[in-house]
Structure 1
Amino acid sequence: MYSLPRCPGKNSWPELVGANGEAAAATIENENSNVNAIVVVDGVPVIMDFRCTRVWVWVNRAGNVVRAPRIG
């Protein structure tokens, strides 16, 4: 069975669902300096490799977070 690597620092932000995506990205990077938070519109294809240094911030067309951002 494959297990995901353990990444340093906070790795999930469920409290940001509904928040503005750009503000959420800033919060994420402030709370975990090891990551780069990337805002992307929900449904747009992205690379699927796992990285401890990346957080996808999925937003709707209005720019609000639609799912809990997490490292990956």
Structure 2
Amino acid sequence: MTTKKVTARYTVETMTAIGGDRWQRGDKDRIYTNDWERFIDLEITRYNTGNIRSAYLGRPSRPPTPSRPTS
């Protein structure tokens, strides 16, 4: 299996400008986004509960059909 490493650097200003919510308390500083997958090549399907059912990074959302052995 090949692992694809994705590196991106965003500033606090950039992340809040694209819709992120900044949270600060004490020495903690976080930015929460609800739709971050639209900024990378990520397809997510979810159950009705909101839990993730499947996720695909950098490939079509429908996995290829397994090939059948020929007899």
Shorter-chain TM-score bucket reads under 0.3
**Bigger fraction of residues in helix:** 1
Larger radius of gyration: 2
**Bigger fraction of residues in strand:** 2
- TM-score, with normalisation over the residues of structure 1? 0.19
Higher RCO, 1 vs 2 (CA within 8 Å, ≥6 residues apart): 1
- TM-score, with normalisation over the residues of structure 2? 0.19
